[in-house]
Amino acid sequence: MAVGVLIGNGTLGTVVALAFSGVTAFVSYWKSDAIALRMSRAVPADPVAYKRLHNLVEGLCIAGGLPKPRVYVINDPAPNAFATGRNPRNAAIAVTTGLLDKMNRVELEGVVAHELSHVKNYDILVMTLAVTLVGAVAILTDIALRMMWWNGGRLHRSGDHDDRGNPLAIVGLVLLVVAPLLARAMQAAVSRRRETLADVSAVQLTRYPPGLISALEKLQADSTVTHSASMATAHMWIEQPLSGVNDTGRLGFFHKLFDTHPPLAERIALLREI
């Protein structure tokens, strides 16, 4: 996109942008799990040292009729976990060492079930698609904007005093401002709904709501920031990993709009109703 501006050729720029986003989408579909795991510094969990975790995952996979995903551990004292991949056959779940230390068996079971539900409900793919969709919105904005600057490639002739411009350009200007915000809000909304769904499906797997409730309460009480998380991977974790948004108090409208997770208090309250 920026390349297009630099070259000063609208068509070439668009082609470059489309090719770039196509490659990005393809790579994110096939390699998103590897990228996410690498970004979080996750290492494969040793089947002997992490026998309890492996056993839990295997058992819950049997209950959900899923193939066993790859299991990873992240060396981070903050309790957190995430799932990634593109389908149940190519999935991975990662948990932090903090989670393993702080949770007892039923709580860990609840958290693992939550992550497996993301795998089973294809949330891992939905999140990848959300990222790709955000990219597409950016391209549309770019094209509309170009029409504003270069008048859609038409030459400006003398006597052509009709300077009201292309109506699409105005749309482009509005999109330029609104689209990234809209895209983020959409990504967050999709993520929040899926979190709630995963909570409910997790309970269907374990048949024991108190396990996940107790785990979420522990996460609520714990204020350690997950250092292995970044803005890009925030929506994947079981608990909002970044500081700056507190889970305890009521969130303002703006925060609510851009949060990738519903507040823990809301999630716990929902589970109590089951």
Partner 1 sequence: MNALWIVLVVVALLAVWVVVSYNRLVGRRNEVDNAWSQIDVQLKRRLDLIPNLVETVKGYASFEKSALEAVIDARAKAMSAAPTPAAQGAADTGLTGALRQLFALSEAYPDLKANTNFLALQEELQNTESRVAYARQFYNDAVERYNNTTQSFPGVIFARSFNFADREYFEAEAAAASVPSVKF
Size of the site for partner 1 (CB under 8 A): 9
Cα–Cα dist 54/46, whole Å? 9
- Kindly state the tokens that stand for 114: 């939550």
The answer to the question of residue 65 lying near partner 1 (CB under 8 A) is yes
CA distance 108 to 212: 8
Question: Could you write out the DSSP letters of every residue in 186-238?
Answer: HHHHHHHHHHHHHHHHHHHHHS-HHHHHHHHHHHHH-----TT--GGGGGGBS
Specify the stretch interacting with partner 1 by CB under 8 A; choose among 19-27, 51-59, 86-94, 176-184.
51-59
Report d(CA 5, CA 268) in Å as an integer: 50
Residue among 62, 232, 257, 274 that touches partner 1 (CB under 8 A): 62
User: How far is residue 75's CA from residue 228's CA, in Å, rounded to a whole number?
Assistant: 9
Shortest reach from residue 58's CB to partner 1, in Å:
7
Catalytic residue status for 115:
yes
Q: Which one of residues 63, 100, 106, 225 is an interface residue with partner 1 (CB under 8 A)? A: 63
Q: Map the footprint of partner 1 across residues 160-199, applying CB under 8 A.
A: none
Span interacting with partner 1, options 53-61, 72-80, 182-190, 264-272, rule CB under 8 A: 53-61
| 64 near partner 1, rule: CB under 8 A | yes
Spatial strand order in the sheet of 42-44: 42-44, 70-74, 90-96, 81-87
Using rule CB under 8 A, residue 48 touches partner 1: no
Minimum distance of partner 1 from residue 245's CB (angstroms) = 36
The one-letter code for the residue type at 31 is K
Closest CB 64 distance from partner 1, rounded Å: 7
| C-alpha neighbours within 13 Å on the C-beta side of residue 140 | 15
Given the residues 107, 109, 115, 195, select the one marked as catalytic.
115
135 binds partner 1 (CB under 8 A): no
CB of 197 to partner 1, least distance (A): 17
- Chain residues binding partner 1 by CB under 8 A are 55, 58-60, 62-65, 207
List the catalytic residues. 115
